[in-house]
Structure 1
Amino acid sequence: MTKVITRAAACGLLFASLPDAGAAGFIEDSKLKLQLRNVYFNENFRDEQGLSARAAATAKSERTEWAQGFLLDYQSGFTQGTVGFGLDAMGLLGVKLDSGRGRSGTGLLPVHDDGRAADEFSSFGATAKARFAKTTLKYGTLLPKNPVLVYNDARLLPQTYEGTQIVSNDIEGLTLTGGLLDRQKLRDSSDSNGVTPDGYSGGESGDFRYFGGEYKLTKSLRLSYFNGELENFYQQHFFGVQHDLPLAGGVLTSDLRVFDSRDVGHAWKGQIDNRMYSGQLAYSHSGHTVGAGYQKLSGDAGLPFVNGATVYSFSNVGIGKFIQEDEKTWMVSYAYDFGTLGVKGLNFSTRYLSGDNGKSGAAGQAEWERDMELAYVIPDGSFKGLGVKLRNYVYRSDFSRGRDSNRIYFTYDIALW
C-alpha cells in the first residue's frame, strides 16, 4: 500500500508541474479522469492439444489472478491562436491482489523469470499536440485505433505506443489518419520495446507506418481504406464498406472487410502472402441485435499483425482469433439492451464461432468458441459510471489447448476536473 500511495503522489506532482499556458483554452478545456479497474481472471485448461508430451507434463492446469488497475488520464485544451498547442499525460499503475507461481500468466501482470507475477507495475506517458483548423498532430504516447493497428485494452491496463500521429477532419465527411510508431509497451509490461509482428522471436524490430481514411458517402454508407507497414516484415492493405438500411422498424447493418498482406524487407521474406475476406450482417430492433457472418483466408500463412495488438476482425473474440492460413469461419451472435425494458445500462451478448480448414502445422484443423457477457453500468446518481462486467468463454481447438475462462471486471470512471 505504501508503494501505491508513493506512486500516486508522484503522478500528482507530475500533473501539477504542467506548464501554465497563459491561454484560456489550454486550462478551461482541460480534463482529468481517474479510471479504476478491478479484474479477476480465471482460466482452466481442458486438454493438451498442441503441446508435446514433455511440455504437457509440466504445463499449468489453470491460470488465476486478481489485480487492481489505476488509469489517470489528463487531456489539456489548446492554446488560442491560428495554431493551438496542448499537452496530454497518462499515468498507469497495476497492483497484484492475488496470484501464485503456478497460476500466473493471465496477461494482467508481468511475470518474472521465476514464474511469479510482479507485485506491481507502472508507466507514465506524455503527448505533445498541436491543432490547426480541424487537423491535430500528436507526438509521444499514443493509443492508435484503426483497421491495421488497434491497441489492446482487454486486460488490466492498455497497451501503449510511442510515435507521431496526425488526424484531419478538414474535408466534410472525410477523416484522414497517418502515423509512425517506433516503440510499444505491452498491456502487462512497463518495458518499452521495439515493434515486432506476432509470433516473431528474433531480435529485430521495425517502425510501423500507417495511413488511410474513412469517408461518409451518405449518412448510411461509409467507405474506408488503410495501409500499414511494419518495416522489414509485412505490408497490409485494408478495404472496408459499412451500410445501414432501415428495415421493418429496425436497422440492418452490413459490414464488409478485406485485408491484403504481403511480406516486405528481409525478416519474413517469402513467408507472407495472405488475403482475408470478412462479412457480417446485423439486424437491430427493439433492443435485440442478431448477427451472422463468414470469414475466409487464402494464400500462404495466416493474417499478420503487430505483437500484442487486437486484430480488426469479427473473429477476434475472447480467446481465439480464427486467422490461420486458409481458415474458414462461420459466426453468429445475439445481443440485448435491457434499456428497452427500462433497465438502463444493462446489456447481454453472446456469440459462437466455428472455424475449419485451418493450417497450423497440419491441414484441415478446426476450432470453435462460445462467448457470453453480461454488463451493467450505473447510468445516474452519485455512483454514475460504476460498472461490472461478467464474461464466460469456452474454447476448443485441434491445434491449441482447450480452455474455459471466467472473468469479472469492476470499473469506475471518476471525473476529477
Structure 2
Amino acid sequence: MKRTHLNLAALSAGALLCQHAQAAFIEGSQGQLELRNFYFNRDFRQSGARDKAEEWAQGFVLRLQSGYTAGTVGFGLDALGMLGLKLDSGSGTAGTGLLPADLGAGGSQDEYSKLGLTAKAKVGATELKVGTLFFRDPVISSNDTRLLPQTFRGGLVTSQDITGLKLIGGHIDRIKANSSSDFTAMTANRIGGQSNGFDFAGGDYALTRQLTTSLRYAKLDGVYQQYYGGLLWNLPVAPGQALKTDLRYASSREDGNFRDLDNRALGAMLTYSLGSHAFGAGYQRMSGADPFPYISGSDPYLVNFVQIGDFANVDEHSWQLRYDFDFSALGLPGLTFMTRYVSGDNVERSAPGQGKEWERNTDLGYVIQSGPLKNLGLKWRNATVRSNFGNDLDENRLIVSYSVPLW
C-alpha cells in the first residue's frame, strides 16, 4: 500500500513538473506575421549595358518563437516560414534579387518558399541555438535588403552572465540567399573559393556606460582568416546633443592553400546628434593587395557599406557625409529622412589611371503610429551610382511592410 502511495505521489509530482515546464514553454512564446510588398527598379546608365532590372513581389515572413521550459536548463523551439510571390516581372527585367531565376524561361520563378527550424537551450544568461539562424555580427551578418531575409545554418552561442561582457561564437556550414529556397556552400565576395565551414568567436565589453570595445576572430575554412577590433563611444555633449564615435579595423589573410590574401580595412564614423538632426562624417581605407573579404551575399561590417556599394576594392579610399532628420520634432512622429554621399578613389583597376566611384542615397520612411493600421510602414529608397570601372546605376525601391502580432 505504501509503495502504491509513493508511486502515485511520484506520478503526480512528475505531472505537475511537466505542466509547469509546458506552461513556461508556452508563456514566453511569441508569434508575428510580416507582410512585405517590394517594388525594385534599377536603370543601367553606361553604354552597352542592359536597359534595366525591374520586378514587383509580395513576401510573407512568419516568425514563431517559443519560451523556455522550466528548470536549470531551459529548452525551446523557433520556426521561420517565408513565402515570396511574383507580381510583375519579365525575362528582360529579371535579376533584381527579389525572386529566384527561372533558368528555363529566362525570367523569374512565380513563387518560392523557405522553412527554418531552430532548437535552443538556455542556462542563466547563456543561450545556444542550432538550426536556421538570422543574426548580425561584425564578422558575419545576415542580409535583409530584399523581399525575404538571408539565413544561415549552424550553431550560435551567446553569453551575458558577466556584467558588461557579451561573449559570442558560432559555426556556420551553409547559407541560404535572399532569393533562394536552398542552402548552399559559402564563397568570399570578389575573392572566390568555396567553403563548408565558417567559424567565429569574440566578445563585446562595456568599459563604461558610454564606451564599448569589440574583438572577433573569424575563419572561412580554406579561404580566409579575419581579425576584427572595434570601439563605440557615445558621448553626451549637452542636453539633446551627443557625439557618437564608431571605429573599426579588420585584418584579413589567407587560410589554407586557396590563394595568397592580404587586406587591412580601417573605418571611422562620427555622428553628431542635435535634437532631431544627426550629422555624420565617415572615412574608410583599404590597404593590401586584395579587396575586403566577406561571405558573398551577406552584409559586410564597413562604415561605407551603403545601399549598393561597399567601397572595399583594392587600395580604395572613401569618405562619407550623412544627414538624418526625425520629423517628430515637427509633430509628425514616424516620419524619417536620410541622405548621404560617399566618394571613393585610388582604386586599383586593369585600365590605366586610378578607379573612382561615388554613390548618393536618399531614404524617406513613414510608420503609422496608432489606429487600425498601426505599424504599417512605407519606405522609398533612392540611389545613384557613378563609376569609371563599374556600373552606372539609378535605383529606386518602394517597400510597404506590415507586422501583425499573432498573440
Is contact 1:327–1:359 with CA below 8 Å preserved after alignment? yes
Give the match for residue 144 of structure 1.
135
Please list the CA deviations of residues 173-231 of structure 1 after superposition, one character each: whole Å capped at 9, or x if unmatched. 111110000011100111111122123565x4230001111111111101001111100
- Match of 2:283, as an amino acid? Y
Give the match for residue 30 of structure 2.
31
Task: Find the aligned partners of 2:315 and 2:295 in 1 and give their Cα distance.
Answer: 20
- Match of 2:24, as an amino acid? G
Q: How big is the shift at 1:396?
A: 0.5
Is contact 1:21–1:27 with CA below 8 Å preserved after alignment? no
Match for 1:175 among 166, 171, 182? 166
Please list the CA deviations of residues 347-401 of structure 1 after superposition, one character each: whole Å capped at 9, or x if unmatched. 0000000000012434510000000000011112221110000011000011111
Task: Find the aligned partners of 1:106 and 1:21 in 2 and give their Cα distance.
Answer: 49
Is residue 2:120 matched to residue 1:129? yes
Task: Find the aligned partners of 1:248 and 1:142 in 2 and give their Cα distance.
Answer: 40
Match for 1:107 among 97, 102, 119? 97
Q: How big is the shift at 1:115?
A: 2.1
Match for 1:263 among 254, 258, 267? 254
Question: Do the aligned partners of residues 228 and 20 (structure 1) sit closer, same or farther apart at CA in structure 2, a change above 3 Å counting?
Answer: farther
Structure 2: gaps spanning 5 or more residues: 1-17
Is contact 1:128–1:140 with CA below 8 Å preserved after alignment? yes
Give the match for residue 317 of structure 1.
306
Question: Do the aligned partners of residues 221 and 131 (structure 1) sit closer, same or farther apart at CA in structure 2, a change above 3 Å counting?
Answer: same
1:144-223 alignment runs, 5 A limit: 144-199=135-190, 204-223=194-213
Give the match for residue 14 of structure 1.
none
- Match of 2:169, as an amino acid? G
TM superposition score normalised by structure 2: 0.93
TM superposition score normalised by structure 1: 0.90
Q: How big is the shift at 1:144?
A: 2.8
Task: Name the Cα RMSD after superposition.
Answer: 1.5
Is contact 1:206–1:232 with CA below 8 Å preserved after alignment? no
Is residue 2:233 matched to residue 1:243? yes
Task: Find the aligned partners of 1:260 and 1:42 in 2 and give their Cα distance.
Answer: 36
Give the match for residue 371 of structure 1.
361
Please list the CA deviations of residues 250-282 of structure 1 after superposition, one character each: whole Å capped at 9, or x if unmatched. 001111000100011122x21x11101111110
Is contact 1:165–1:177 with CA below 8 Å preserved after alignment? yes
Whichever of the two has the greater Rg, that structure is 2
Higher deviation after alignment, 238-247 or 69-78: 238-247
Q: Secondary structure at the match of 2:186?
A: coil
Give the match for residue 264 of structure 2.
275
1:43-58 alignment runs, 5 A limit: 43-48=42-47, 56=48
Is contact 2:304–2:319 with CA below 8 Å preserved after alignment? no
- Match of 2:242, as an amino acid? V
Question: Do the aligned partners of residues 223 and 61 (structure 1) sit closer, same or farther apart at CA in structure 2, a change above 3 Å counting?
Answer: same
Task: Find the aligned partners of 1:21 and 1:183 in 2 and give their Cα distance.
Answer: 36
Q: How big is the shift at 1:31?
A: 0.5
Question: Do the aligned partners of residues 238 and 372 (structure 1) sit closer, same or farther apart at CA in structure 2, a change above 3 Å counting?
Answer: same
Give the match for residue 290 of structure 1.
279
Give the match for residue 320 of structure 2.
331
Q: How big is the shift at 1:248?
A: 3.9
Paired residues, number: 387
Is contact 1:324–1:360 with CA below 8 Å preserved after alignment? no
Q: Secondary structure at the match of 1:300?
A: coil
Q: Secondary structure at the match of 1:72?
A: strand
- Runs (4+) off by over 4 Å: 19-22
Question: Do the aligned partners of residues 397 and 217 (structure 1) sit closer, same or farther apart at CA in structure 2, a change above 3 Å counting?
Answer: same
- Match of 1:214, as an amino acid? D
Give aligned-pair identity as a percent.
47
Q: Secondary structure at the match of 2:267?
A: strand
Give the match for residue 71 of structure 2.
81
- Match of 2:251, as an amino acid? D
Task: Find the aligned partners of 1:310 and 1:361 in 2 and give their Cα distance.
Answer: 26
- Match of 1:181, as an amino acid? I
Question: Do the aligned partners of residues 20 and 264 (structure 1) sit closer, same or farther apart at CA in structure 2, a change above 3 Å counting?
Answer: farther
